[in-house]
Structure 1
Amino acid sequence: MKRYTLIYIIALLLGSSLTVNAQSGLVDHSFKERKPAELPPVREADVIWQKTLWRIIDLRERMNQNLYYPTVSIGDRKSLAYCLLQGIQQGEYLGFKPGDTASEFSEPMTWGEIVSSMTSGFASTMSPDSIPDDYDIQDNIDFSLVKQLMVKESWFFNKQSSRMEVRILAICPILIYPKDIVNPDENLVRKLTFWVEYPDTRNFLCKNMVFNPYNEARTLSFDDVFINRKFSSYIVGESNVYNNRFISQYAKGEDALKEMKRIENEIFNWEQDVWEY
Protein backbone atom coordinates (compact mmCIF):
# COMPACT_ATOMS: atom_id res chain seq x y z
CA MET A 1 0.00 0.00 0.00
CA LYS A 2 2.83 2.40 0.91
CA ARG A 3 4.49 1.56 -2.41
CA TYR A 4 1.45 2.61 -4.45
CA THR A 5 1.05 5.76 -2.35
CA LEU A 6 4.67 6.73 -3.06
CA ILE A 7 4.24 6.16 -6.81
CA TYR A 8 1.08 8.31 -6.78
CA ILE A 9 2.85 11.17 -4.96
CA ILE A 10 5.79 11.07 -7.42
CA ALA A 11 3.36 11.17 -10.36
CA LEU A 12 1.61 14.21 -8.89
CA LEU A 13 4.90 16.01 -8.36
CA LEU A 14 6.02 15.29 -11.93
CA GLY A 15 2.68 16.46 -13.28
CA SER A 16 2.75 19.71 -11.30
CA SER A 17 6.35 20.34 -12.41
CA LEU A 18 5.38 19.95 -16.07
CA THR A 19 2.41 22.27 -15.56
CA VAL A 20 4.54 25.00 -13.99
CA ASN A 21 7.15 24.66 -16.71
CA ALA A 22 4.51 24.79 -19.42
CA GLN A 23 3.03 27.95 -17.95
CA SER A 24 6.47 29.57 -17.84
CA GLY A 25 7.09 28.66 -21.47
CA LEU A 26 10.03 26.33 -20.79
CA VAL A 27 8.57 23.07 -22.09
CA ASP A 28 6.33 23.79 -25.05
CA HIS A 29 9.01 24.11 -27.71
CA SER A 30 6.85 22.14 -30.15
CA PHE A 31 4.55 25.14 -30.74
CA LYS A 32 7.14 26.77 -33.01
CA GLU A 33 7.28 23.53 -35.01
CA ARG A 34 3.56 23.28 -35.59
CA LYS A 35 2.08 22.96 -39.06
CA PRO A 36 -1.40 24.08 -40.08
CA ALA A 37 -4.10 21.44 -40.20
CA GLU A 38 -4.73 20.33 -43.76
CA LEU A 39 -8.12 21.30 -45.14
CA PRO A 40 -10.04 18.68 -47.12
CA PRO A 41 -9.37 19.08 -50.85
CA VAL A 42 -12.33 20.28 -52.91
CA ARG A 43 -12.74 19.47 -56.59
CA GLU A 44 -14.11 22.23 -58.77
CA ALA A 45 -16.69 19.78 -60.15
CA ASP A 46 -18.06 19.22 -56.63
CA VAL A 47 -18.85 22.91 -56.04
CA ILE A 48 -22.44 23.43 -57.20
CA TRP A 49 -23.02 26.83 -55.51
CA GLN A 50 -20.64 29.58 -54.38
CA LYS A 51 -20.81 33.08 -52.90
CA THR A 52 -17.99 35.50 -51.95
CA LEU A 53 -18.54 37.58 -48.81
CA TRP A 54 -16.71 40.38 -47.02
CA ARG A 55 -16.95 40.54 -43.23
CA ILE A 56 -15.81 42.90 -40.48
CA ILE A 57 -14.31 41.50 -37.28
CA ASP A 58 -14.52 44.28 -34.69
CA LEU A 59 -11.63 43.72 -32.30
CA ARG A 60 -13.35 45.80 -29.61
CA GLU A 61 -15.99 43.09 -29.16
CA ARG A 62 -15.34 40.86 -26.17
CA MET A 63 -15.13 37.63 -28.18
CA ASN A 64 -12.48 39.13 -30.49
CA GLN A 65 -10.25 40.79 -27.91
CA ASN A 66 -7.71 37.95 -27.93
CA LEU A 67 -6.92 39.03 -31.51
CA TYR A 68 -6.42 42.65 -30.37
CA TYR A 69 -4.44 42.27 -27.15
CA PRO A 70 -1.65 42.65 -26.24
CA THR A 71 -1.18 45.89 -28.18
CA VAL A 72 2.45 45.76 -26.98
CA SER A 73 4.00 42.28 -27.16
CA ILE A 74 4.35 40.28 -23.94
CA GLY A 75 6.88 37.51 -24.43
CA ASP A 76 5.52 35.16 -27.11
CA ARG A 77 2.08 36.79 -27.02
CA LYS A 78 1.43 39.31 -29.80
CA SER A 79 -1.60 40.89 -31.41
CA LEU A 80 -2.77 39.55 -34.75
CA ALA A 81 -1.85 42.81 -36.51
CA TYR A 82 1.71 42.53 -35.17
CA CYS A 83 1.97 38.93 -36.38
CA LEU A 84 0.67 39.75 -39.85
CA LEU A 85 3.21 42.57 -40.19
CA GLN A 86 6.02 40.46 -38.74
CA GLY A 87 5.33 37.70 -41.28
CA ILE A 88 5.65 40.17 -44.15
CA GLN A 89 8.87 41.57 -42.68
CA GLN A 90 10.34 38.07 -42.48
CA GLY A 91 9.40 37.31 -46.09
CA GLU A 92 6.78 34.66 -45.27
CA TYR A 93 4.16 36.19 -47.58
CA LEU A 94 3.30 39.39 -49.47
CA GLY A 95 1.08 42.35 -48.65
CA PHE A 96 -1.20 43.79 -51.33
CA LYS A 97 -2.69 47.24 -51.85
CA PRO A 98 -6.28 47.69 -50.67
CA GLY A 99 -8.50 48.95 -53.46
CA ASP A 100 -11.70 48.05 -55.21
CA THR A 101 -12.60 44.37 -55.21
CA ALA A 102 -11.72 44.01 -58.89
CA SER A 103 -8.04 44.82 -58.27
CA GLU A 104 -7.47 42.94 -55.00
CA PHE A 105 -4.17 41.03 -54.85
CA SER A 106 -2.94 42.50 -58.14
CA GLU A 107 -0.53 45.11 -56.72
CA PRO A 108 2.04 43.91 -54.15
CA MET A 109 3.21 46.60 -51.71
CA THR A 110 6.81 47.31 -50.79
CA TRP A 111 7.87 46.97 -47.17
CA GLY A 112 8.07 50.76 -46.84
CA GLU A 113 4.54 51.20 -48.21
CA ILE A 114 3.18 48.62 -45.77
CA VAL A 115 4.83 50.30 -42.78
CA SER A 116 3.53 53.69 -43.92
CA SER A 117 0.01 52.26 -44.26
CA MET A 118 0.13 51.28 -40.58
CA THR A 119 0.54 54.88 -39.36
CA SER A 120 -2.27 57.31 -38.64
CA GLY A 121 -2.69 60.52 -40.58
CA PHE A 122 -1.20 62.81 -37.92
CA ALA A 123 1.69 60.50 -36.97
CA SER A 124 5.18 61.51 -38.05
CA THR A 125 6.36 59.03 -40.68
CA MET A 126 9.41 58.46 -42.79
CA SER A 127 9.38 58.22 -46.55
CA PRO A 128 8.46 54.65 -47.61
CA ASP A 129 11.69 54.41 -49.60
CA SER A 130 13.79 55.16 -46.52
CA ILE A 131 12.29 52.50 -44.22
CA PRO A 132 14.86 49.70 -43.67
CA ASP A 133 14.03 45.99 -43.79
CA ASP A 134 14.91 45.64 -40.07
CA TYR A 135 12.59 48.47 -39.03
CA ASP A 136 11.51 48.01 -35.38
CA ILE A 137 7.75 47.62 -35.77
CA GLN A 138 7.14 47.04 -32.05
CA ASP A 139 8.56 50.38 -30.93
CA ASN A 140 7.47 52.50 -33.88
CA ILE A 141 3.93 51.34 -34.76
CA ASP A 142 0.86 51.83 -32.58
CA PHE A 143 -1.00 48.53 -32.95
CA SER A 144 -3.76 49.74 -30.62
CA LEU A 145 -5.17 51.68 -33.61
CA VAL A 146 -5.92 48.42 -35.48
CA LYS A 147 -9.48 48.04 -34.22
CA GLN A 148 -11.07 46.06 -37.04
CA LEU A 149 -10.23 43.38 -39.59
CA MET A 150 -11.82 42.92 -42.98
CA VAL A 151 -12.09 39.28 -44.02
CA LYS A 152 -12.81 38.02 -47.52
CA GLU A 153 -14.21 34.51 -47.64
CA SER A 154 -15.84 32.04 -50.00
CA TRP A 155 -18.94 30.04 -49.07
CA PHE A 156 -19.76 27.03 -51.24
CA PHE A 157 -21.86 23.89 -51.27
CA ASN A 158 -19.76 20.76 -51.64
CA LYS A 159 -21.85 17.97 -53.13
CA GLN A 160 -19.19 15.44 -52.09
CA SER A 161 -19.73 16.19 -48.39
CA SER A 162 -23.33 17.36 -48.93
CA ARG A 163 -22.87 20.46 -46.83
CA MET A 164 -22.04 24.15 -46.94
CA GLU A 165 -18.34 24.93 -46.40
CA VAL A 166 -16.32 28.11 -46.06
CA ARG A 167 -12.73 29.13 -46.83
CA ILE A 168 -11.14 32.38 -45.67
CA LEU A 169 -9.39 33.99 -48.64
CA ALA A 170 -7.77 37.12 -47.24
CA ILE A 171 -7.43 39.46 -44.24
CA CYS A 172 -6.95 43.23 -44.10
CA PRO A 173 -6.18 45.14 -40.83
CA ILE A 174 -8.14 48.40 -40.47
CA LEU A 175 -6.91 51.46 -38.54
CA ILE A 176 -9.47 53.65 -36.77
CA TYR A 177 -8.19 56.96 -35.42
CA PRO A 178 -9.41 60.57 -35.00
CA LYS A 179 -8.88 62.88 -37.95
CA ASP A 180 -8.15 65.73 -35.55
CA ILE A 181 -6.01 64.88 -32.51
CA VAL A 182 -7.43 67.90 -30.68
CA ASN A 183 -10.98 66.44 -30.95
CA PRO A 184 -10.41 62.68 -30.64
CA ASP A 185 -14.11 61.79 -30.43
CA GLU A 186 -15.07 63.45 -33.71
CA ASN A 187 -14.47 62.65 -37.38
CA LEU A 188 -12.94 59.21 -37.01
CA VAL A 189 -10.89 57.96 -39.95
CA ARG A 190 -11.22 54.34 -41.07
CA LYS A 191 -8.18 53.24 -43.08
CA LEU A 192 -7.63 49.90 -44.82
CA THR A 193 -3.92 49.08 -44.61
CA PHE A 194 -2.95 45.99 -46.64
CA TRP A 195 -4.36 42.63 -47.70
CA VAL A 196 -2.68 39.29 -47.09
CA GLU A 197 -3.88 36.08 -48.72
CA TYR A 198 -4.89 33.87 -45.81
CA PRO A 199 -3.72 30.48 -47.20
CA ASP A 200 -0.20 31.96 -47.48
CA THR A 201 -0.22 33.10 -43.84
CA ARG A 202 -1.27 29.82 -42.23
CA ASN A 203 2.25 28.37 -41.89
CA PHE A 204 3.25 31.48 -39.94
CA LEU A 205 0.09 32.11 -37.91
CA CYS A 206 -0.12 28.51 -36.67
CA LYS A 207 3.21 29.06 -34.86
CA ASN A 208 1.97 32.12 -32.95
CA MET A 209 -0.02 31.68 -29.75
CA VAL A 210 -3.23 33.47 -28.93
CA PHE A 211 -4.66 33.73 -25.43
CA ASN A 212 -7.46 31.25 -24.76
CA PRO A 213 -9.82 33.02 -22.30
CA TYR A 214 -11.75 29.81 -21.58
CA ASN A 215 -8.93 27.34 -20.89
CA GLU A 216 -5.25 28.27 -20.53
CA ALA A 217 -4.30 24.59 -20.66
CA ARG A 218 -5.58 24.45 -24.24
CA THR A 219 -3.15 26.52 -26.29
CA LEU A 220 -4.55 28.06 -29.45
CA SER A 221 -2.89 29.64 -32.46
CA PHE A 222 -4.23 32.44 -34.63
CA ASP A 223 -4.82 29.83 -37.32
CA ASP A 224 -6.97 27.80 -34.90
CA VAL A 225 -9.12 30.87 -34.23
CA PHE A 226 -9.85 31.45 -37.92
CA ILE A 227 -10.18 27.86 -39.10
CA ASN A 228 -12.53 27.01 -36.22
CA ARG A 229 -14.27 30.39 -36.59
CA LYS A 230 -13.85 31.40 -32.97
CA PHE A 231 -14.66 35.04 -33.69
CA SER A 232 -17.64 37.35 -33.98
CA SER A 233 -18.27 39.25 -37.22
CA TYR A 234 -20.87 40.82 -39.46
CA ILE A 235 -21.31 40.88 -43.24
CA VAL A 236 -20.51 44.12 -45.11
CA GLY A 237 -20.67 42.92 -48.70
CA GLU A 238 -21.33 40.10 -51.12
CA SER A 239 -20.30 39.37 -54.70
CA ASN A 240 -22.85 40.97 -57.03
CA VAL A 241 -23.36 42.42 -60.48
CA TYR A 242 -22.79 45.98 -59.21
CA ASN A 243 -18.97 45.76 -59.05
CA ASN A 244 -19.17 43.90 -55.72
CA ARG A 245 -20.32 47.05 -53.96
CA PHE A 246 -20.55 46.99 -50.17
CA ILE A 247 -23.83 47.25 -48.25
CA SER A 248 -22.92 50.74 -46.97
CA GLN A 249 -22.98 52.01 -50.56
CA TYR A 250 -26.71 51.38 -51.00
CA ALA A 251 -28.27 50.90 -47.55
CA LYS A 252 -28.06 52.73 -44.24
CA GLY A 253 -29.21 52.13 -40.67
CA GLU A 254 -31.95 49.56 -40.24
CA ASP A 255 -32.00 48.83 -43.97
CA ALA A 256 -28.32 47.85 -43.82
CA LEU A 257 -29.01 45.48 -40.90
CA LYS A 258 -31.85 43.87 -42.84
CA GLU A 259 -29.57 43.42 -45.85
CA MET A 260 -26.90 41.71 -43.71
CA LYS A 261 -29.57 39.37 -42.34
CA ARG A 262 -30.89 38.67 -45.85
CA ILE A 263 -27.46 37.54 -47.05
CA GLU A 264 -27.00 35.29 -44.01
CA ASN A 265 -30.43 33.75 -44.53
CA GLU A 266 -29.73 33.18 -48.22
CA ILE A 267 -26.73 31.00 -47.37
CA PHE A 268 -28.58 29.12 -44.63
CA ASN A 269 -31.70 28.57 -46.72
CA TRP A 270 -29.78 27.42 -49.78
CA GLU A 271 -28.26 24.54 -47.80
CA GLN A 272 -31.60 23.64 -46.20
CA ASP A 273 -33.45 23.70 -49.52
CA VAL A 274 -31.12 21.09 -50.99
CA TRP A 275 -32.48 18.43 -48.65
CA GLU A 276 -35.81 16.64 -48.89
CA TYR A 277 -37.64 15.56 -45.74
Structure 2
Amino acid sequence: MKKLSTTFLLFVLLSFTPVDEAYAQSEVSNGYNPLSLRQVHESYLMWKRTLWRRVDLMEKQNKPFFAINRELSKVIIEAVQNGVLIPYSSDSVNDSNIMAREDFLTNIQQETFEEDDPFGGGFEEDDPFAAFEEDDPFAEEEVVEETGPVFIPNREFSIFEIKEDLYFDRVHSRIYFDIQSISMYLPGDSFYNNSGVEKPVASFRFIDLYNLFKSMPKEAIWYNERNIAQHKNLGDAFLLRLFKGIIVKVANADDIRVSELYSKSRKEGIMASFKVEQDLMEWEANLWEY
Protein backbone atom coordinates (compact mmCIF):
# COMPACT_ATOMS: atom_id res chain seq x y z
CA MET A 1 0.00 0.00 0.00
CA LYS A 2 2.85 2.36 0.89
CA LYS A 3 4.56 1.58 -2.41
CA LEU A 4 1.32 2.29 -4.29
CA SER A 5 0.94 5.66 -2.53
CA THR A 6 4.50 6.66 -3.44
CA THR A 7 3.90 5.77 -7.09
CA PHE A 8 0.67 7.77 -7.16
CA LEU A 9 2.39 10.82 -5.60
CA LEU A 10 5.17 10.66 -8.19
CA PHE A 11 2.60 10.47 -10.99
CA VAL A 12 0.80 13.57 -9.66
CA LEU A 13 4.04 15.57 -9.44
CA LEU A 14 5.03 14.67 -12.99
CA SER A 15 1.58 15.54 -14.27
CA PHE A 16 1.86 19.12 -13.00
CA THR A 17 5.43 19.67 -14.23
CA PRO A 18 5.45 22.00 -17.27
CA VAL A 19 6.51 20.25 -20.45
CA ASP A 20 8.83 23.08 -21.53
CA GLU A 21 10.58 23.10 -18.17
CA ALA A 22 11.06 19.35 -18.21
CA TYR A 23 12.49 19.53 -21.73
CA ALA A 24 14.81 22.37 -20.77
CA GLN A 25 16.13 20.43 -17.79
CA SER A 26 16.83 17.35 -19.90
CA GLU A 27 18.48 19.52 -22.55
CA VAL A 28 20.79 21.19 -20.03
CA SER A 29 21.73 17.94 -18.32
CA ASN A 30 22.16 16.10 -21.61
CA GLY A 31 25.86 16.92 -21.78
CA TYR A 32 26.20 16.53 -25.56
CA ASN A 33 26.98 19.17 -28.18
CA PRO A 34 24.14 19.25 -30.76
CA LEU A 35 26.55 20.60 -33.40
CA SER A 36 28.95 17.67 -33.11
CA LEU A 37 28.86 14.92 -35.67
CA ARG A 38 30.69 12.63 -33.28
CA GLN A 39 28.72 12.77 -30.04
CA VAL A 40 30.96 12.80 -26.95
CA HIS A 41 29.72 13.49 -23.44
CA GLU A 42 31.23 16.58 -21.83
CA SER A 43 32.48 14.50 -18.90
CA TYR A 44 34.84 12.73 -21.33
CA LEU A 45 36.54 15.99 -22.30
CA MET A 46 39.82 16.48 -20.51
CA TRP A 47 40.89 19.52 -22.56
CA LYS A 48 39.32 21.58 -25.36
CA ARG A 49 40.18 24.56 -27.56
CA THR A 50 38.18 26.25 -30.32
CA LEU A 51 40.01 27.12 -33.55
CA TRP A 52 39.19 29.01 -36.73
CA ARG A 53 40.92 28.04 -39.97
CA ARG A 54 40.97 29.98 -43.23
CA VAL A 55 40.72 27.71 -46.26
CA ASP A 56 41.46 29.08 -49.73
CA LEU A 57 39.97 26.73 -52.31
CA MET A 58 42.18 28.21 -55.03
CA GLU A 59 45.25 26.65 -53.40
CA LYS A 60 46.53 23.49 -55.06
CA GLN A 61 45.81 21.16 -52.14
CA ASN A 62 42.23 22.44 -51.88
CA LYS A 63 41.42 22.29 -55.61
CA PRO A 64 39.53 18.94 -55.28
CA PHE A 65 36.91 20.86 -53.28
CA PHE A 66 36.62 23.31 -56.17
CA ALA A 67 36.33 21.20 -59.32
CA ILE A 68 34.53 22.80 -62.26
CA ASN A 69 30.73 22.49 -61.88
CA ARG A 70 31.25 20.66 -58.58
CA GLU A 71 32.44 23.58 -56.48
CA LEU A 72 31.73 23.48 -52.76
CA SER A 73 30.23 26.96 -53.09
CA LYS A 74 27.94 25.80 -55.92
CA VAL A 75 26.58 22.91 -53.86
CA ILE A 76 25.92 25.19 -50.89
CA ILE A 77 24.33 28.05 -52.84
CA GLU A 78 21.99 25.79 -54.79
CA ALA A 79 20.96 24.02 -51.57
CA VAL A 80 19.99 27.33 -49.95
CA GLN A 81 18.15 28.44 -53.08
CA ASN A 82 16.20 25.17 -53.06
CA GLY A 83 15.35 25.57 -49.39
CA VAL A 84 17.16 22.44 -48.18
CA LEU A 85 19.95 24.20 -46.25
CA ILE A 86 19.61 26.83 -43.52
CA PRO A 87 22.08 29.77 -43.58
CA TYR A 88 23.14 31.64 -40.45
CA SER A 89 24.44 35.17 -39.98
CA SER A 90 27.40 34.16 -37.77
CA ASP A 91 29.49 31.09 -37.01
CA SER A 92 27.73 30.54 -33.69
CA VAL A 93 24.94 28.98 -35.85
CA ASN A 94 22.22 28.99 -33.23
CA ASP A 95 18.50 29.55 -33.66
CA SER A 96 18.78 33.24 -32.77
CA ASN A 97 20.85 34.13 -35.85
CA ILE A 98 19.15 32.20 -38.63
CA MET A 99 19.52 34.17 -41.86
CA ALA A 100 16.48 34.71 -44.04
CA ARG A 101 16.72 33.16 -47.49
CA GLU A 102 16.14 36.59 -49.06
CA ASP A 103 19.10 38.04 -47.13
CA PHE A 104 21.32 35.22 -48.34
CA LEU A 105 20.31 35.84 -51.95
CA THR A 106 21.07 39.54 -51.46
CA ASN A 107 24.57 38.67 -50.25
CA ILE A 108 25.35 36.76 -53.44
CA GLN A 109 23.93 39.37 -55.84
CA GLN A 110 26.07 41.68 -57.91
CA GLU A 111 26.12 45.27 -56.70
CA THR A 112 24.35 47.72 -59.00
CA PHE A 113 25.04 51.42 -59.53
CA GLU A 114 22.41 54.12 -59.36
CA GLU A 115 21.68 56.09 -62.52
CA ASP A 116 23.07 59.31 -61.04
CA ASP A 117 26.26 57.62 -59.85
CA PRO A 118 29.18 59.25 -61.76
CA PHE A 119 31.18 56.01 -61.38
CA GLY A 120 28.38 53.89 -62.76
CA GLY A 121 28.57 55.15 -66.34
CA GLY A 122 26.49 57.63 -68.36
CA PHE A 123 26.74 61.41 -68.63
CA GLU A 124 25.85 64.22 -66.28
CA GLU A 125 23.54 67.01 -67.31
CA ASP A 126 26.24 69.71 -67.22
CA ASP A 127 28.79 67.69 -69.19
CA PRO A 128 29.59 69.74 -72.36
CA PHE A 129 31.03 66.65 -74.07
CA ALA A 130 28.01 64.49 -73.38
CA ALA A 131 26.32 62.90 -76.34
CA PHE A 132 23.07 64.61 -77.21
CA GLU A 133 20.28 63.08 -79.19
CA GLU A 134 17.09 64.82 -80.22
CA ASP A 135 13.81 63.07 -79.67
CA ASP A 136 12.70 61.34 -82.82
CA PRO A 137 8.92 61.79 -83.21
CA PHE A 138 8.77 58.80 -85.57
CA ALA A 139 10.82 56.47 -83.42
CA GLU A 140 9.09 53.52 -81.84
CA GLU A 141 8.73 53.62 -78.10
CA GLU A 142 11.45 51.54 -76.51
CA VAL A 143 10.19 48.91 -74.13
CA VAL A 144 12.41 48.31 -71.13
CA GLU A 145 12.16 44.78 -69.84
CA GLU A 146 12.51 44.23 -66.14
CA THR A 147 15.26 41.80 -65.28
CA GLY A 148 15.71 39.83 -62.10
CA PRO A 149 18.72 39.99 -59.80
CA VAL A 150 22.10 39.09 -61.25
CA PHE A 151 24.03 36.70 -59.04
CA ILE A 152 27.77 36.52 -58.56
CA PRO A 153 29.25 33.40 -60.23
CA ASN A 154 29.60 30.47 -57.85
CA ARG A 155 33.34 30.12 -58.46
CA GLU A 156 33.95 33.57 -57.02
CA PHE A 157 33.22 32.29 -53.50
CA SER A 158 36.52 30.55 -52.89
CA ILE A 159 37.27 31.49 -49.27
CA PHE A 160 35.88 29.44 -46.40
CA GLU A 161 36.43 29.62 -42.66
CA ILE A 162 36.13 26.49 -40.55
CA LYS A 163 35.27 26.72 -36.87
CA GLU A 164 36.20 23.56 -35.01
CA ASP A 165 36.74 22.21 -31.51
CA LEU A 166 39.97 20.45 -30.70
CA TYR A 167 39.56 18.23 -27.65
CA PHE A 168 41.21 15.37 -25.82
CA ASP A 169 38.93 12.42 -25.13
CA ARG A 170 40.00 10.94 -21.79
CA VAL A 171 38.16 7.67 -22.52
CA HIS A 172 39.79 6.95 -25.88
CA SER A 173 43.04 8.75 -24.96
CA ARG A 174 43.35 10.72 -28.17
CA ILE A 175 42.71 14.13 -29.70
CA TYR A 176 39.76 14.74 -32.02
CA PHE A 177 38.92 17.58 -34.41
CA ASP A 178 35.22 18.38 -34.29
CA ILE A 179 34.05 20.80 -37.02
CA GLN A 180 31.20 22.98 -35.77
CA SER A 181 30.46 25.36 -38.62
CA ILE A 182 31.71 26.51 -42.02
CA SER A 183 31.45 30.12 -43.22
CA MET A 184 31.59 31.27 -46.85
CA TYR A 185 33.30 34.49 -47.97
CA LEU A 186 33.68 36.53 -51.12
CA PRO A 187 37.44 37.23 -51.55
CA GLY A 188 38.61 40.81 -51.25
CA ASP A 189 40.34 40.68 -54.64
CA SER A 190 37.23 39.45 -56.44
CA PHE A 191 36.03 41.55 -59.39
CA TYR A 192 32.58 41.54 -57.78
CA ASN A 193 33.78 42.86 -54.42
CA ASN A 194 34.04 46.65 -54.44
CA SER A 195 35.04 46.91 -50.78
CA GLY A 196 38.44 45.26 -51.23
CA VAL A 197 38.07 43.17 -48.05
CA GLU A 198 36.69 39.68 -47.62
CA LYS A 199 32.92 39.84 -47.47
CA PRO A 200 31.11 37.31 -45.25
CA VAL A 201 28.17 35.66 -47.00
CA ALA A 202 26.74 33.15 -44.53
CA SER A 203 27.62 30.40 -42.07
CA PHE A 204 26.33 26.84 -41.94
CA ARG A 205 26.21 24.03 -39.42
CA PHE A 206 28.67 21.35 -40.42
CA ILE A 207 26.27 18.61 -39.35
CA ASP A 208 23.72 20.05 -41.82
CA LEU A 209 26.34 20.22 -44.56
CA TYR A 210 27.46 16.65 -43.88
CA ASN A 211 23.92 15.34 -44.23
CA LEU A 212 23.48 17.42 -47.41
CA PHE A 213 26.68 16.06 -48.95
CA LYS A 214 25.70 12.48 -48.14
CA SER A 215 22.35 13.00 -49.87
CA MET A 216 24.16 14.13 -53.05
CA PRO A 217 26.70 11.36 -53.77
CA LYS A 218 27.11 12.31 -57.45
CA GLU A 219 27.23 16.10 -57.07
CA ALA A 220 29.01 16.71 -53.75
CA ILE A 221 32.35 15.11 -54.50
CA TRP A 222 35.97 15.73 -53.63
CA TYR A 223 37.53 15.38 -57.07
CA ASN A 224 40.41 12.89 -57.12
CA GLU A 225 42.29 13.84 -60.27
CA ARG A 226 44.91 11.12 -59.71
CA ASN A 227 42.28 8.38 -59.73
CA ILE A 228 38.84 9.39 -60.97
CA ALA A 229 37.49 6.01 -59.88
CA GLN A 230 38.10 7.01 -56.26
CA HIS A 231 36.34 10.34 -55.81
CA LYS A 232 35.25 10.99 -52.23
CA ASN A 233 32.14 12.55 -50.83
CA LEU A 234 32.67 16.10 -49.57
CA GLY A 235 31.48 15.07 -46.11
CA ASP A 236 34.09 12.32 -45.89
CA ALA A 237 36.76 14.67 -47.27
CA PHE A 238 36.19 17.06 -44.38
CA LEU A 239 36.25 14.26 -41.80
CA LEU A 240 39.49 12.94 -43.33
CA ARG A 241 40.85 16.51 -43.17
CA LEU A 242 41.86 16.61 -46.82
CA PHE A 243 41.77 20.41 -46.75
CA LYS A 244 44.62 22.79 -45.98
CA GLY A 245 43.91 25.81 -43.82
CA ILE A 246 45.91 28.09 -41.57
CA ILE A 247 44.76 28.94 -38.06
CA VAL A 248 43.49 32.53 -37.99
CA LYS A 249 42.03 32.56 -34.49
CA VAL A 250 42.12 30.62 -31.24
CA ALA A 251 39.35 31.22 -28.71
CA ASN A 252 40.48 33.97 -26.31
CA ALA A 253 38.96 36.44 -23.87
CA ASP A 254 39.60 39.44 -26.16
CA ASP A 255 38.17 37.65 -29.23
CA ILE A 256 41.06 38.81 -31.42
CA ARG A 257 42.68 37.04 -34.33
CA VAL A 258 46.23 35.82 -34.65
CA SER A 259 46.93 38.50 -37.27
CA GLU A 260 45.95 41.22 -34.78
CA LEU A 261 48.56 39.97 -32.33
CA TYR A 262 51.20 40.17 -35.05
CA SER A 263 50.02 43.10 -37.14
CA LYS A 264 53.44 44.38 -38.24
CA SER A 265 53.37 42.41 -41.47
CA ARG A 266 51.37 39.74 -43.25
CA LYS A 267 54.39 37.44 -43.15
CA GLU A 268 54.56 37.62 -39.35
CA GLY A 269 50.86 36.81 -39.12
CA ILE A 270 51.29 33.70 -41.28
CA MET A 271 54.33 32.57 -39.30
CA ALA A 272 52.36 33.08 -36.09
CA SER A 273 49.61 30.81 -37.43
CA PHE A 274 52.14 28.05 -38.07
CA LYS A 275 53.57 28.60 -34.58
CA VAL A 276 50.11 28.09 -33.06
CA GLU A 277 49.75 24.86 -35.05
CA GLN A 278 53.10 23.59 -33.80
CA ASP A 279 52.26 24.50 -30.19
CA LEU A 280 49.03 22.50 -30.41
CA MET A 281 50.90 19.47 -31.75
CA GLU A 282 53.43 19.78 -28.93
CA TRP A 283 50.61 20.06 -26.40
CA GLU A 284 49.07 16.86 -27.78
CA ALA A 285 52.38 15.06 -27.32
CA ASN A 286 52.68 16.31 -23.75
CA LEU A 287 49.21 15.03 -22.88
CA TRP A 288 50.52 11.47 -23.08
CA GLU A 289 52.61 12.16 -19.98
CA TYR A 290 49.50 12.38 -17.79
Could you say whether these structures have the same fold, taking a TM-score greater than 0.5 normalized by the shorter chain as the test?
Answer: yes
> Is the 8 Å Cα contact of residues 119 and 142 (structure 1) preserved in structure 2?
no
One-letter code aligned to 2:157: V
Runs (5+) with no aligned partner, structure 2: 1-35, 115-147
State the SS of the aligned residue for 2:197: strand
**1:274 has 2:287 as partner:** yes
Aligned equivalents of 2:189 and 2:55: distance in 1? 20
Aligned equivalents of 1:53 and 1:232: distance in 2? 14
Runs (5+) with no aligned partner, structure 1: 1-37, 125-135
Tell me the alpha carbon deviations over residues 55-91 of structure 1, each in whole angstroms, 9 at most, x when there is no partner.
1111110111122231xx3xxxx21111112222333
**1:218 has 2:230 as partner:** yes
> Is the 8 Å Cα contact of residues 54 and 160 (structure 2) preserved in structure 1?
yes
Tell me the alpha carbon deviations over residues 125-146 of structure 1, each in whole angstroms, 9 at most, x when there is no partner.
xxxxxxxxxxx99x84411211
State the SS of the aligned residue for 1:114: helix
Aligned twin of 1:88? 80
Q: Aligned match of 1:251 in 213, 238, 262? A: 262
**1:189 has 2:197 as partner:** yes
Seen in structure 2, the aligned counterparts of structure 1 residues 123 and 194 have a Cα distance that, compared at 3 Å, is farther
Tell me by how many angstroms 1:240 deviates: 0.3
> Is the 8 Å Cα contact of residues 57 and 232 (structure 1) preserved in structure 2?
yes
**1:200 has 2:216 as partner:** no
> Is the 8 Å Cα contact of residues 205 and 222 (structure 1) preserved in structure 2?
yes
> Is the 8 Å Cα contact of residues 120 and 175 (structure 1) preserved in structure 2?
no
> Is the 8 Å Cα contact of residues 156 and 190 (structure 2) preserved in structure 1?
no
Q: Aligned match of 2:177 in 158, 166, 174? A: 166
One-letter code aligned to 1:210: W
> If the length of structure 2 is used for normalisation, what is the TM-score?
0.66
Aligned twin of 1:34? none
State the SS of the aligned residue for 1:93: coil
> Is the 8 Å Cα contact of residues 145 and 177 (structure 1) preserved in structure 2?
no
State the SS of the aligned residue for 2:228: coil
- Superposition CA RMSD, Å: 2.9
Seen in structure 2, the aligned counterparts of structure 1 residues 89 and 258 have a Cα distance that, compared at 3 Å, is same
**1:228 has 2:257 as partner:** no
> Is the 8 Å Cα contact of residues 162 and 182 (structure 2) preserved in structure 1?
yes
Aligned equivalents of 1:226 and 1:210: distance in 2? 9
Tell me by how many angstroms 1:49 deviates: 0.5
Alignment of 1:1-277 (within 5 A): 40-70=38-68, 73=69, 78-98=70-90, 105=94, 106-121=96-111, 140-178=151-189, 188-206=196-214, 207=216, 208-242=220-254, 244-252=255-263, 253=265, 254-276=267-289
Q: Which moved more, 1:226-235 or 1:38-47?
A: 38-47
Seen in structure 2, the aligned counterparts of structure 1 residues 264 and 122 have a Cα distance that, compared at 3 Å, is farther
Aligned equivalents of 2:38 and 2:112: distance in 1? 46
> If the length of structure 1 is used for normalisation, what is the TM-score?
0.69
One-letter code aligned to 1:197: R
One-letter code aligned to 2:86: L
> Is the 8 Å Cα contact of residues 249 and 256 (structure 2) preserved in structure 1?
yes
Aligned equivalents of 1:120 and 1:246: distance in 2? 29
Tell me the alpha carbon deviations over residues 155-199 of structure 1, each in whole angstroms, 9 at most, x when there is no partner.
000111111100111111111255887xx9x97331110000101
Point out 4+ residue stretches in structure 1 off by more than 6 angstroms: none
State the SS of the aligned residue for 1:193: strand
Identity level (%): 22
Equivalent pairs counted in the alignment come to 215
Aligned equivalents of 2:246 and 2:203: distance in 1? 19
Tell me the alpha carbon deviations over residues 209-263 of structure 1, each in whole angstroms, 9 at most, x when there is no partner.
2321221111211112111111111010010010x21122332324323421232
Q: Which moved more, 1:81-90 or 1:250-259?
A: 250-259
Aligned equivalents of 2:191 and 2:277: distance in 1? 37
Aligned equivalents of 2:40 and 2:104: distance in 1? 33
Aligned equivalents of 1:82 and 1:174: distance in 2? 13
